[in-house]
Every structure is written in C-alpha cells, then in structure tokens.
Amino acid sequence: MCGVVALLSNEPVNQRLYDALLLLQHRGQDAAGIATLDGLQFHMHKAMGLVRDIFRTRNMRDLTGNVGVGHVRYPTQGCASSNQESQPFYVNAPFGIMFAHNGNLTNAEELKQELYETDRRHINTTSDSEVLLNVLANEISRVTADRKLDADGIFEAVSAVHRRVRGSYAVVALIAGKGLLAFRDPHGIRPLCFGSNVTATGEKEWMVSSESVTMVGLGFKLERDVAPGEAIWFDFKGNVETRQCAEHAVANPCAFEYVYFARPDSVIDGISVYGARLNLGVYLAKTVAEELNLMDVDVVMPIPDSSRPCAQELAKQLRLPYREGFIKNRYVGRTFIMPGQAVRKKSVRQKLNAMPVEFEGKNLLLVDDSIVRGTTMKEIVRMARESGAKKVFVASSAPRVMFPNVYGIDMPTKSELICGDGKDADAVAKELGADKVIFQSIDGLKNALHDLNPNIPAFDCSCFDGVYVTGDVTEAYLEKLGKAGKAAAKENDEDDAQAGNVE
Ligand SMILES: O=P(O)(O)OC[C@H]1O[C@H](OP(=O)(O)OP(=O)(O)O)[C@H](O)[C@@H]1O
Ligand SMILES: NC(=O)CC[C@H](N)C(=O)O
Ligand SMILES: [Mg+2]
C-alpha cells in the first residue's frame, strides 16, 4: 500500500505536500518523494526512508511551484531497496508527466513486453508503476498525435488505460503545461478522494489524496471519493472536468484498508475507518460470546495500535473490563509493512512492552485487527505468559488471511501466511501458543462494512476468501508471484543482515 497526494494551487505547495505525506506515512515507510512544477520545469526529490528523514531544508527550497505530487512507498513489485523505484516517476514525452501510483498491476509483465515490442517504450526498473506510467504516456501520445490535448483527449487516454491494464491503481499525474490528472481503477480497489479550499486571494485550490485525513489536516473540504473508473482533469486554466472512463465500473474497495491500513480518522468510500473498526468489534463480540465462556475472561486487551477501536467496542459489548497492558514505543514504525521478516520480528519486540501488573494471574482476551504471518501474535502471547498471564485467548477482527494479496498489500506467498495452508483456529492457537484463537467470520467482516454503506456492492476480500475481483488472477500467476515474493523476502533479509538491522 502506498500513499499518493497532489496539490494544485496559486500558492507554493512544497510544505503542504510534505505535511500531507507525513499524514500518509502509515501507508508506506520505505521511500518517499515530492515533485513540483514551476512554469515548465519539474523539481523532484525522492529517497529511501521516512518522510521526516528524507527532506532537508535545501531539498524543500528547491521544490518551487504551485502544483505538485507526492508519494510514500510500500513496495509490492520490484525492488524494495532501490531508490530507482521510489516515486514519483517521470517521463519526458508526451509533454512531460510526473506520476504517482498506489496499487499493484496483475498484468505488468505482459504490458512491459507489449510496451517494448509494440509501443517501442523501454521500462528501466522492475516497478509496475513505471509500466503504468508508460501505458498512460503512450495513450496520451496516441490521442494527441493529430490534435491538441484537451479534457476529451485525457479521458480517451484513461479509457484506453482501463482497457489495457489489470489490477489496482489509484493515480495522480501532473502534465507539464497542461494540468493535473487523477484516476482510479474500475473496481476502486485502492482509495482516492479529492477536496478543495479557497486561498487567501479567493481562488480555489485542489487536493487529491489516498485518504481524507490529509484534507482535514491541511484545512481542505473533502468533496468526495473519486469513483471507480472515473478520471478527474484539473487543467491549468482553472477548469475541472470529470468522466467515467471505464465500461464496467463496479465498486470493490479493499476490506483490508478498513481492518488495518488506513488511518482511523479517514473516511473511505463513505465509510469512516474508525466506525468500521468499532463495528468489527460488535460482530467479533458475537462470535467470541458463542465460542468462549465469558466467565473465563478477566480483561480484554488490545495490541496497539490498530486494534484499539475494535477491542474497546468488543469489551463494551461483552461487558468486560478493557485494559492496556502493552505499551508501544512510539519511535518504532508499523511492523507489518516492513520489507524483511527478520526485521519485522525484531521490531515487534522493540515496539511493544508488557506491564506485568496487568498480566499477573489474569485470563486475557487479546484483540488484534489481524493475524497475517503471526509474527506479532507469537511474540505477544509469549510476552503475556512471561508476564504472568494465566490463560491467553486471542481474537482477530479480521478473518483468517489465507490467500495472497495481489492488489497492493505485500503478502505474495501463501507459505508466509499463518493460515495459508488452511489451518483452522485451533491449529493456529497451537502454533501461537495461545489457549484459544477466535477469528471474525467472513460474513462478519462484510456485514460490518456493509452496515456503514449499503451502496457498495461488494468489498475486495481476496486475501480472506480467494475471490479476486478483477477476474484475471490465475493459479499460474499466483505461483509466479509467490516465487518472486520469496526471492524478494530473501533479498530483504540479506540487506537487513548486512546493514546490521537484525542479529
Ligand atoms: O500477523 P502479522 O504478520 O504480525 O501482522 C499483523 C499485525 O501487523 C499489524 O501491526 P503493525 O505493527 O504493522 O501496525 P499497528 O501499530 O498499526 O498495529 C497489525 O495491526 C497486526 O498487529
Ligand atoms: N503498495 C503500493 O501501492 C506499491 C506501488 C507499486 N506497485 C510499487 O511497488 O512501488
Ligand atoms: Mg498491529
């Protein structure tokens, strides 16, 4: 999962793009970048690392201009440790395009070949985002071969992109001298919204962003989500046009955004992420009440951070005391989105500390938002026992994660998932060393989200139910992805070992 943002104003945007990226940091911790456009000249600074470490005053000073795009990266394809693959990406023709992408293409390999053989375009990295940019550039080139670029031409190009590209993509693209384009894949798997503000001189300025939290943080009014398949064109003359560019657009937003990825204070496709997490607690409480004798539970305890709203609501529903027993070191980032398994493991230990007073002699019901590889929960159960817990029950607000995710969450192989081999809850409990493990049901997850926006026909729940909404994901593709994922994981672990990040 990555974060994208774009700003179009009549005032400088560098500082505000930086502020927006800080608010999107939870979506990607590996690399970040900002590009601005000043007249016809792009300025860019991108590097590996966290936003606050990458941008120095001298970099910020160089990012002049009143329009720009930004990106925080959590790699899903290509090389995690290469600055070459951090975003924004740039192509100089047609016009000069600066581009940022959140998502993952499922036909990137075929497109790469097609781009070379047919469109005579070379892709120099292993990033699918560079592929997507070149498809877009090629289609804009084709449309403008014999006419000037206008909104119709832009929308025609995006329609062609939708016809050629499969997978998930939420995109912002800045075209030199022309305008700012935003579009979302026909299933709307990854989030994208836009908002506006009035500047000191009374002119309207625009922001496009992965999450609405940036609108609130920067004083913009959220207009709405970009619809699945829709494109929005903000030209530099001040016109804004929107069009549905997909033939069969249907909303299938990713359920995992609500479970874990997005910030709780964002609203995605009309659903408050915080509200979704509370409601997941309501449904999870029902399952817990069926499967556990509540007399056996002394306290409900969250695993900070993401599970807190769910755990609080669950405790309220079950009329059980809620206690914080794990204290989080606020200087350690999210562990799930770190690229190597060894460093993830080490970080869980650095990140969470148990307070014995909340554990000694007690039966705990630990609540986490998800158990994916089991890295977090294995350590947590061990720490709970070491701190004197009597019984350790575990509940997960997400169902069992059994299938790889191909739409922008880095879990490409079944073998790395604790439930990838179909393990049931009892077998998971054994592996984690817990007395019992209870998972949310898939219906519980779907209902918890549907309750909050019945207009969404279906959510992408592929990592839970194996249903891939784009319809093109084959066993052969998953096998190939698995192999690439394993190789990347090995490389990341080796890099971490070399850098001394792990023992
Ligand atoms: O089973 P695993 O593979 O360990 O993955 C699941 C865990 O990872 C995430 O936490 P993370 O530390 O990334 O972020 P958080 O602080 O937002 O909870 C998530 O909230 C779970 O705790
Ligand atoms: N998580 C994402 O959105 C990643 C974007 C792109 N696929 C990359 O690997 O850089
Ligand atoms: Mg967590």
Residues 75-117: tens digit of each pLDDT: 887 766 678 899 999 999 999 999 999 999 999 999 999 999 9
Cα–ligand 1 centroid distance for 306 (angstroms):
7
DSSP class per residue in 313-382: HHHHHHT--B---EEE-TTS--STTSS-HHHHHHHHHHHEEE-GGGTTT-EEEEEES--SSSHHHHHHHH
| CA pair distance 347, 342, nearest whole angstrom | 9
pLDDT at position 501:
63
pLDDT at position 83:
84
Pocket test for ligand 2, best of 73, 87, 89 (most atoms within 8 A of CB): 73
Nearest atom within ligand 1 for CA of residue 260:
20
pLDDT at position 325:
96
Cα–ligand 3 centroid distance for 351 (angstroms):
10
376 CB near ligand 1 (under 6 Å): yes
Nearest atom within ligand 1 for CA of residue 373:
3
Of 273, 242, 244, nearest to 260 by C-alpha is 273
pLDDT at position 334:
84
Shortest-distance ligand to the CA of residue 73: 2
**Amino acid of residue 183:** F
Confidence of residue 171 (pLDDT cuts 50, 70, 90): very high
Nearest atom within ligand 2 for CA of residue 28:
1
Contact yes or no for 399/441 (Cβ under 8 A): yes
Give, as one character, the DSSP assignment of residue 86.
Answer: S
Q: Residue 369 annotated as binding? A: yes
Is 485's pLDDT higher than 80? Answer: no
Cα–ligand 2 centroid distance for 440 (angstroms):
28
Catalytic residue list: 2
Is 503's pLDDT higher than 60? Answer: no
Contact yes or no for 477/417 (Cβ under 8 A): no
Shortest-distance ligand to the CA of residue 104: 2
Shortest-distance ligand to the CA of residue 332: 1
77 CB near ligand 2 (under 6 Å): yes
What average pLDDT does the segment 226-243 reach? 98
Q: Residue 225 annotated as binding? A: no
The residue whose CA has the least distance to atom 10 of ligand 2 is 75
168 CB near ligand 2 (under 6 Å): no
279 CB near ligand 1 (under 6 Å): no
What average pLDDT does the segment 329-353 reach? 80
Confidence of residue 496 (pLDDT cuts 50, 70, 90): low
Is 499's pLDDT higher than 80? Answer: no
88 CB near ligand 2 (under 6 Å): no
Is 498's pLDDT higher than 70? Answer: no
373 CB near ligand 1 (under 6 Å): yes
pLDDT at position 395:
98
Cα–ligand 3 centroid distance for 462 (angstroms):
20
Pocket test for ligand 2, best of 86, 107, 129 (most atoms within 8 A of CB): 129
The residues near 150 (Cβ < 8 Å, ≥ 6 apart) are none
Angle at 443 between CA 441 and CA 449, to 5 degrees: 110
Pocket test for ligand 1, best of 306, 337, 431 (most atoms within 8 A of CB): 306
The 10s digit of each residue's pLDDT in 399-456 is: 999 999 999 998 878 999 999 999 999 999 999 999 999 999 999 999 999 999 999 9
Give the residue with greater pLDDT, 333 vs 145.
Answer: 145
What pTM, to 2 d.p., does this model score? 0.95
Contact yes or no for 91/121 (Cβ under 8 A): no
375 CB near ligand 1 (under 6 Å): yes
Is 338's pLDDT higher than 90? Answer: no
Residues having C-beta closer than 5 Å to ion ligand 3? 306
Helix, strand or coil, per DSSP, at residue 286:
helix
pLDDT at position 484:
77
Is 502's pLDDT higher than 80? Answer: no
29 CB near ligand 1 (under 6 Å): no
The 10s digit of each residue's pLDDT in 261-304 is: 999 999 999 999 999 999 999 999 999 999 999 999 999 999 99
Q: What is the mean pLDDT of the chain?
A: 94
pLDDT at position 497:
67
Domains of the chain: 3-250 (3.60.20.10), 271-498 (3.40.50.2020)
49-58, 345-354, 414-423: least confident range:
345-354
Q: Residue 30 annotated as binding? A: no
Cα–ligand 3 centroid distance for 445 (angstroms):
18
What average pLDDT does the segment 48-61 reach? 96
Q: What share of the chain is helix, strand, coil (3-state, %, to 5)?
A: 35, 25, 40
Continuous segment of H or E residues that includes residue 436? strand 436-439
% of the chain exceeding 90 in pLDDT? 86
1 CB near ligand 1 (under 6 Å): no
